[in-house]
Structure 1
């Protein structure tokens, strides 16, 4: 801790508020899937199980020293924590079905995402309503069903997607994050809880893409280019109080180009937010752009985002101080990996910045979250990866207050 002054003003946000929104679960993309023919339909199943030992060294604090900061802090006077849990991904079981009728390819998908951390408490001890007593004997873990969607289309007309699926803004950054099968940064509480997952680089280089109710159209492949446009179920700003009806949906779009070892993409997102009074209405809009380039065993990746009223870490978290003002934010994730036989080594560095709104008073609200991760990922088999990572995370407030933490993890990721 570089300064000892702490302000607990209106913009000070504890991790308990952040964690309920930020820690999200993301499905992996396996090397192969189980397929079964059933008449004219093909049924598929794929998923993963990943388990890690995570040890974090945090600063000795009893409350979050930086509002919205992502460096971990101690609890009950303890500055170290250990857990055996999922990493950035939960475990996953995704079940799908597909067929072709009248020239249209039809698919449906249901995704189940359980974890191994006890996060529902013990029904026998009636702990489910007490967030401070969840990891005890006789506890259970939840199943998060975050994918429910259908698609229809073909190679000549393009494809429509309707349902709950991963968003467009920020998706390529997280899907290409090398910590996806690993852990990356832990949550500020010090371990992978309460939603079975760690942060990876969420809030430390990109805003979490999230899973959204949406209706999209994607064009056919146009000489390597694809364009997706769509609308999504508008989200309430985090900690906004009573929900209010939204007069219009959210809008998002993505353009991507792929040609051999080159992949680049850009996305756009926008949404209007209706407050309880008109003076609290504000608009959110943002974009990201980046790509990855593969040169033999070397891969270089980078994504940048910029937003107004987008907030940081999660969509619309800390996006506005109220009164119709919007906070600006931006960030980037840069990454280099190199494969040596069956082993991949890599390093990534990410930073997310959140500005104060015009006229806003300086406080302990986070200004910058940043981290670097060094990782080793060894493919023991085609589907089994053994890995180890070291991550250093720093959170800095607009007041100058700073919080640092480190964590190491070793584990295994098995997909099918």
Structure 2
């Protein structure tokens, strides 16, 4: 559960840390080697629900032991990152290879930045270390005339634009595990609170050339099992696609996108319990001078909530429907950006299902201040309120505050 909720995206590192040139570029013959990355650290204080009700899949933190409040020092929505690129041009083709390595600052011996060390030592104790997460290994080739092919492990298409434009990318958003005394190396941001996490997938994609601002991507990906279900063979891959459009007019810039995915799930809950998962999202961003509005909406059938195929069916192959949205506004005052976003992720019961403690919806509102102390160093302050409600009407509420820094290079 923690692993699927808290993996965060490296593509944001590239957008935040570079305006063209990489932090380091080395030329050797026909090859260029590049290095980018970030280090971000935040103090996070969380006030959690101390009269908690059962909400399976709820993202509002609850009291643990005798404590309803928690302090932690952790990474935010993004882990720290060190990303390497290898670039060359051969026979008229632009060829690139990419590797992404993601450490954190929280104590962890679990082999993944999001799996804490367990018994007999316990969690977040002396002698622990952090771990390294390798989530990107992919290559691309093509050119502006024929388009681009991408093969390897990289971020998927569904949900990508929602998270890459989330104002909490350099910050924290919802605290997630950082609120419960055993912080993972990333927080939630707005994951499960306005969009489903895009995740990293083994995939093969093709992106068309730019046609008057339009681009399309189609591809296949290694099919995923539902979270918590037994491993299953899949006779066909998963499929996903994306259509995007960018234009400028009257001093404004508009970006629109729509994505979709579909995948067959086999033998969920027993032989013969098969179903097809599908999801669709659309949204955009409008920038006028220093003001920006953004929003994305998604709907899914047998896709679940928070992570791909988490709580996607009732355990017997009967699909649950889900939907959600994230709305956001920002305004720049010189070197300071002010922002607010609000998100909701809802999950319906399957037909005939009785499950009063299953999460019905997770809601969040975040207000943030992001000040560029230098072109690479950003100071961050945020306040986030989260509500989780179950299907019997019970709900938990929590709030967290964070201050920290984000260094990109």
TM-score bucket of the superposed structures, by smaller chain:
over 0.9
Q: Which residue does the alignment assign to 1:256?
A: 244
Gapped runs of 5+ residues in structure 2? none
Superposition deviation, residue 363 in structure 1: 1.4
Tell me which of 107, 113, 116 is aligned to 2:102: 113
TM-score normalized by structure 2? 0.93
Superposition deviation, residue 193 in structure 1: 5.2
Tell me which of 198, 201, 209 is aligned to 1:212: 201
Q: 2:32 & 2:53 partners in 1: Cα distance?
A: 50
Q: Which residue does the alignment assign to 1:245?
A: 233
Q: 2:353 & 2:304 partners in 1: Cα distance?
A: 15
Q: 2:167 & 2:53 partners in 1: Cα distance?
A: 28
Q: How does 1:67-82 map to 2 (within 5 A)?
A: 67-82=56-71
Q: 1:267 & 1:160 partners in 2: Cα distance?
A: 18
Q: How does 1:361-380 map to 2 (within 5 A)?
A: 361-380=354-373
Q: How does 1:103-142 map to 2 (within 5 A)?
A: 103-120=92-109, 128-130=117-119, 133-142=122-131
Tell me which of 300, 305, 315 is aligned to 1:312: 305
Superposition deviation, residue 278 in structure 1: 3.4
Contact map agreement 1:70 1:188 (CA 8 A) in 2: no
TM-score normalized by structure 1? 0.92
Q: Which residue does the alignment assign to 2:29?
A: 39
Q: Which residue does the alignment assign to 1:270?
A: 262
Contact map agreement 2:117 2:124 (CA 8 A) in 1: no
Q: 1:132 & 1:285 partners in 2: Cα distance?
A: 42
Superposition deviation, residue 88 in structure 1: 0.1
Contact map agreement 2:177 2:187 (CA 8 A) in 1: no
Q: 1:56 & 1:410 partners in 2: Cα distance?
A: 12
2:397 is aligned with 1:397 = no
Of 380-389 and 180-189, the range deviating more from structure 2: 180-189
Could you report, residue by residue, the CA deviation over 1:129-180 in whole angstroms, capped at 9, with x for unpaired residues?
A: 4397131111101100000000010110000000000110000000000000
Contact map agreement 1:274 1:280 (CA 8 A) in 2: yes
Q: Which residue does the alignment assign to 1:185?
A: 174
Q: Which residue does the alignment assign to 1:346?
A: 339
Q: Which residue does the alignment assign to 1:19?
A: 2
Q: 1:134 & 1:271 partners in 2: Cα distance?
A: 36
2:40 is aligned with 1:50 = yes
Aligned residues: 393
Are the structure 2 counterparts of residues 384 and 111 from structure 1 closer, same or farther at C-alpha, using a change threshold of 3 Å?
same
Q: 1:110 & 1:237 partners in 2: Cα distance?
A: 27
Q: Which residue does the alignment assign to 2:292?
A: 299
Q: 1:383 & 1:374 partners in 2: Cα distance?
A: 22
2:407 is aligned with 1:414 = yes
Are the structure 2 counterparts of residues 131 and 286 from structure 1 closer, same or farther at C-alpha, using a change threshold of 3 Å?
farther
2:142 is aligned with 1:150 = no
Contact map agreement 1:120 1:134 (CA 8 A) in 2: no
SS of residue in 2 equivalent to 1:236: coil
SS of residue in 2 equivalent to 1:162: strand
Could you report, residue by residue, the CA deviation over 1:320-367 in whole angstroms, capped at 9, with x for unpaired residues?
A: 002221100000000000000000001000000000010001410000
SS of residue in 2 equivalent to 1:214: strand
Contact map agreement 2:110 2:117 (CA 8 A) in 1: yes
Superposition deviation, residue 23 in structure 1: 1.4
Q: 2:120 & 2:242 partners in 1: Cα distance?
A: 38
Contact map agreement 1:170 1:206 (CA 8 A) in 2: yes
Superposition deviation, residue 26 in structure 1: 1.9
Contact map agreement 1:25 1:195 (CA 8 A) in 2: no
Contact map agreement 2:266 2:272 (CA 8 A) in 1: no
SS of residue in 1 equivalent to 2:163: helix
Contact map agreement 2:44 2:178 (CA 8 A) in 1: no
Q: 1:20 & 1:222 partners in 2: Cα distance?
A: 39
Q: What's the RMSD between the two structures over aligned residues?
A: 1.7
Superposition deviation, residue 244 in structure 1: 1.1
SS of residue in 1 equivalent to 2:228: coil
Contact map agreement 1:363 1:397 (CA 8 A) in 2: yes
